[in-house]
Chains A and B, each alone.
Chain A
C-alpha cells in the first residue's frame, strides 16, 4: 500500500528525516514510534503530500506523492496532531464541508455522515457547535471526518496526544475495529509506547530521523531475549561492571541509580545478582522482574528513554533545532 525509498528531508542544514525505507501492507496498522523531534511528523507530512521530500520517493497505493499529490490526497484521510476543525460550526457542518471538499457524491453524503457519526458515537451531539465539544469528542470527530471520503489510507498524527487514559483507550478501540472492519490501512505516529504496543501490527522505531528497528511489537520485545530485571542499588555502576566482567549480562543500562538488565531467565538470574552484590559489599535496595516493553526496546537500541511525560517538550522544528545545537 505504501512504499518508501530513501526518503529524506532537510530543514536548512538539519537532517530531519534520513533515508527512510519501509513498506506498509494493505489493511495494516503501522506505527512510527519515537521521541518528539525524531522526524515522525515530518515523515507523515511527506506521505500526505504536505511537505516535499528533499530526496527519495514515496508512493501511496502505487501513486507517487511528489508527482501526483492531488490524486494521493483523494485517497487518504488525515488527522493532524493539532486540532483542525472549525469550532464555530457544528459537528455535522464540519463533516458536510469535508464531504463537499472531497467530492463525496451528494446522494451518499448524508448516509456517510450518519455512518461516521455513529462510528465515533457522536450522533446525539452532531448539531451542537464544535466549541462545546470536549477534547476527546473533537478528536473523535476529526477521525470521523478523515473517514467520510472512504480513504484507502488513514494517517493519524499522535491521535491521542493530550487525552485522558479512558478516552485514549476508547480511540484505540475505534481505530482497531475500523481497520479490521473496513480494511483501511492506518499509519500513525506516537511517542506513547503503550499506544504502539496495543494498536499497531508493526512498529518502526525512529530516532534522529532514522529507523532503528522495525517489526511487530511482539517480535521487537522478543528480540531482547528474555526478562527485564531492574536493580536499585548503591554503587550500581560497580555492580554493572562486575556483572559484565563475569559475563552474566550484556549491555546493562544505568539511570538514576537504577540498573536495567536484559537476561535470558529472570528467575535464575536474580539470586546470582544478589550474590555478586553481596560479595562487592553493595546493598540492594530493591529488585524487580518483568516482561520487556517497547520502552525497553527503545532503550536497548538508543541507550536513552523516550520521555513521554513531564520535562520540556519540543515539537516539530523547535525539537530539531534544539537537537542540532546540542
Chain B
C-alpha cells in the first residue's frame, strides 16, 4: 500500500513538472508538424504508387511512434536533473523500494510521452487521414505500451551517465537507429535483407506497425497480425523494466 502511494506520488510529480513547462509543451507540437508537412510532402512524389496509400498517410503513424520514442527517451533526463539538483537523494533515502522509484518514474514519463503523442492526432486532418475518437481510444493503450519500454531505456541510460552532455550523445545514438529501422518512414519490405533483420529486433517496428493497423485500418496490409505486434511490445516492456530496475537499484 505504501509502495503504491509512493509510486503515485512520484508519478504525480513527473506529470506536474511536465505540464508546468509551457515551452516544452508548445515545442512538442513543432517537431511532428515539420516531419508531416515538410518531409512528408517532399517525399510524396518519390514514393507515389509504391505503397498503395499516400506517403503522408503512411508516415502519420510512424511520426506518432517517433514522437513517443523521442519523448520517452528524453524522460531519462529527469534522473540526471534530479541528481544534479540533489532531489534524487531525497527520493533514495525515503523508506520505499528502488523498484517503486523506478516504476513511478516510468509511469510519469510514459504519461508525458503519451500526452505528447496524442497531440500528433490533432494534425491528422493535415495529412487527410481520418481519425475518429474511436480510433484514438484504441490507439491509446498501444501508445502506453510502447512508451513503458522506451522510458525504461531512457531512465536506465541516464542512471548510467555521469553528465547531461553524455546522455545527450547516447540518446541520439539510440534514438535515430531505432527510428529509421522501425519502418516509420519507409516500408520495411524496401530494406535490403540484412537491414530487415535488424528491424526485426527494433521494438519500435512493432509499435509503428500496431499503430498503422489501428489508424489506417484496411488501407494498410501488415506483415504481422496485431496481437503479434502487441506481444512483442509487452515482452520488450517487461524486459526493459526488469533491466532498468536492476541497474537503477545500483545507482548511488
Cβ A85 vs Cβ B90 within 8 A = yes
Residues of chain B at interface, number, CB under 8 A:
22
B21: chain A residues within 8 A (beta carbon):
88
What are 9 contact pairs spanning A and B, CB under 8 A?
Answer: A48-B93, A49-B93, A82-B86, A85-B87, A86-B17, A89-B13, A89-B16, A93-B16, A98-B94
The distance from the CB of B90 to the nearest CB of chain A, in whole angstroms, is 5
A314: chain B residues within 8 A (beta carbon):
none
Q: Which residue of A lies closest to B92 (CB)?
A: A50
The distance from the CB of A145 to the nearest CB of chain B, in whole angstroms, is 8
- Asked if A281 CB lies within 8 Å of chain B CBs, one says no
Cβ B95 vs Cβ A73 within 8 A = yes
A98 CA to B15 CA, complexed, in Å: 17
- Asked if B250 CB lies within 8 Å of chain A CBs, one says no
- Asked if B85 CB lies within 8 Å of chain A CBs, one says yes
**Which residues of B line the A interface, CB within 8 A?**
2, 5-6, 8-9, 12-13, 16-17, 20-21, 85-87, 89-96
Name the one of B20, B89, B90, B95 contacting A103, with C-beta atoms under 8 angstroms: B95
- Asked if A87 CB lies within 8 Å of chain B CBs, one says yes
Q: With A84-B87, A89-B17 given, is the CB distance from A100 to B8 under 8 Å?
A: yes
A93 CA to B20 CA, complexed, in Å: 13
Cβ B93 vs Cβ A78 within 8 A = yes
What 10 new A-B contacts, CB under 8 Å, besides A102-B94, A103-B5?
A: A71-B95, A73-B93, A80-B89, A85-B87, A88-B17, A88-B21, A97-B9, A97-B12, A101-B91, A101-B95
Determine chain B's interface SS by DSSP, over half rule: helix
The distance from the CB of B12 to the nearest CB of chain A, in whole angstroms, is 8
Q: Which residue of B lies closest to A78 (CB)?
A: B93
A240 CA to B167 CA, complexed, in Å: 60
Q: With A84-B87, A89-B13 given, is the CB distance from A100 to B5 under 8 Å?
A: yes
A70 CA to B6 CA, complexed, in Å: 14
Q: Which residue of B lies closest to A50 (CB)?
A: B93
Q: Which 8 A-B pairs have the closest CB atoms?
A: A84-B86, A100-B9, A101-B94, A103-B2, A73-B95, A84-B90, A74-B95, A82-B86
Cβ B89 vs Cβ A88 within 8 A = no
- Asked if A83 CB lies within 8 Å of chain B CBs, one says yes
Q: With A83-B85, A100-B6 given, is the CB distance from A73 to B16 under 8 Å?
A: no
A49: chain B residues within 8 A (beta carbon):
93
**Interface 1/0 per residue, A101-145 and B, CB below 8 Å:** 111000000000000000000000000000000000000000000
A98: chain B residues within 8 A (beta carbon):
90, 94
Name the one of A48, A71, A73, A97 contacting B13, with C-beta atoms under 8 angstroms: A97
Cβ B9 vs Cβ A101 within 8 A = yes
**Interface 1/0 per residue, A61-85 and B, CB below 8 Å:** 0000000001101100010101111
A70 CA to B87 CA, complexed, in Å: 19
Cβ A86 vs Cβ B96 within 8 A = no
A291 CA to B9 CA, complexed, in Å: 53
The distance from the CB of B83 to the nearest CB of chain A, in whole angstroms, is 11
**Interface 1/0 per residue, A276-309 and B, CB below 8 Å:** 0000000000000000000000000000000000
B85: chain A residues within 8 A (beta carbon):
83-84, 86-87
Cβ B95 vs Cβ A84 within 8 A = no
Name the one of B6, B16, B20 contacting A101, with C-beta atoms under 8 angstroms: B6
B92: chain A residues within 8 A (beta carbon):
50
Q: Which residue of B lies closest to A96 (CB)?
A: B9
B2: chain A residues within 8 A (beta carbon):
103
A88 CA to B12 CA, complexed, in Å: 13
